């Protein structure tokens, strides 16, 4: 999902209308430090949690390019009905995804680095193509924010020559 303010959803899960009202999103707000080699490919994001009228929370997150690769791998695990944990480095809130036998999914967000709280949202029924929808969102983020910096040796960075690959 892409809004008028330039925010793009990397992850967007929501219960069907008329059910619990649960939703969780990872929204990409923009590049962390555009134009600065060491921070240009980092993305400022927020994890947004909605649980009906009782909870509306967001957690700031900075994503590295590797985090997008990890999310792609985790989607493959989820498609195979296996548990997946994303962003478990300890530097940001982490997300845990547990497929349920009923076809639903439980998503937990644990804000270990800051508040220590964990919020778990059950999604009773997801659309059959939910994983494909998440892959489409990942593709949109990669198209909007392509990697433009390459690490030529440890601690040495330069702009990619074509700036679009």
DSSP 2: B
Q: Write phi, then psi, for 159 (nearest 5 degrees).
A: -70, 145
Q: Write phi, then psi, for 6 (nearest 5 degrees).
A: 85, 0
Residue ranges per structural domain of the chain? 8-159
Give the pLDDT means over successive 10-residue stretches in the chain (165 positions). 73 78 93 93 96 85 96 94 93 94 90 91 84 96 95 91 63
Q: Is 158 left (phi over 0), alpha (psi -120 to 50) or beta?
A: beta
Give pLDDT, residue 20.
67
Pick the CATH number of 8-159 from 2.30.31, 1.20.1530, 2.40.10, 2.60.40: 2.30.31
Measured distance CA(116)–CA(153) in Å, rounded: 36
Measured distance CA(164)–CA(159) in Å, rounded: 10
């Amino acid at each position: 999902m892409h809004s008028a303010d330039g925010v793009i959803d990397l992850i967007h899960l929501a219960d069907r209308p008329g059910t619990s009202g649960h939703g969780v999103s990872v929204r990409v707000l923009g590049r962390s430090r555009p134009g600065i080699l060491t921070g240009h490919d980092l993305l400022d994001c927020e994890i947004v949690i909605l649980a009906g009228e009782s909870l509306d929370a967001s957690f700031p997150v900075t994503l590295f390019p590797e985090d997008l690769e990890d999310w792609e791998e985790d989607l493959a695990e989820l498609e195979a009905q296996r548990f997946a944990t994303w962003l478990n480095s300890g530097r940001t809130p982490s997300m845990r995804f547990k497929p349920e036998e009923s076809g639903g999914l439980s998503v937990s967000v644990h804000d270990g680095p800051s508040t220590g709280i964990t919020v778990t949202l059950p999604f009773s029924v997801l659309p059959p193509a939910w994983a494909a929808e998440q892959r489409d969102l990942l593709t949109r983020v990669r198209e909007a924010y392509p990697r433009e910096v390459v690490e030529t040796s440890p601690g040495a960075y330069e702009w990619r020559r074509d700036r679009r690959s």
